[in-house]
Amino acid sequence: MAENRTKQEWLDLIDKSEGQMVLLPESLNEKAETFRKIREEFLMMVRKMAKMEIEQSVLVNEIVYEMRKDLEAKGHADVWTKDIGFNTDALESGGFVMNVNEPQRR
């Protein structure tokens, strides 16, 4: 997290920056504040999406693992080396169909 600095500390840093930093004109402060708020909201959404992505990945791995065990119990061969995943067309229409394919050469 960024340090909280006073305006004078920022002005001192700008002076020492040898032209690498400049103070935003006050006429743009309102737009900059809007940007700051949108950026903050965006970063919160990114964190939430990252968490959701990990949760989704965990669920898929659990489902595929259980699916492999079920297929093995039913006598299907080589279920531990197959590529298994949701059929996205079925998933989008509310169905739970799994694709079971030979693995792709890597």
Phi, psi at residue 98, to the nearest 5°? -105, 140
On whether the CB atoms of residues 11 and 23 are closer than 8 A, the answer is yes
Residue 70's domain comprises 57-106
Q: Alpha helix locations (H) across the chain?
A: 7-16, 29-73, 88-92
Whole-Å CA distances, 61 to 3, 5, 55, 91: 40, 46, 10, 16
Q: How many separate domains does the chain show? A: 1
pLDDT tens, N- to C-terminus, the chain (106 residues): 567 899 899 999 999 999 999 999 999 999 999 999 999 999 999 999 999 999 999 999 999 999 999 999 999 989 999 999 999 999 999 999 999 999 887 6
Is there a domain that residue 35 lies in? no
Is there a domain that residue 81 lies in? yes
Is there a domain that residue 23 lies in? no
Is there a domain that residue 11 lies in? no
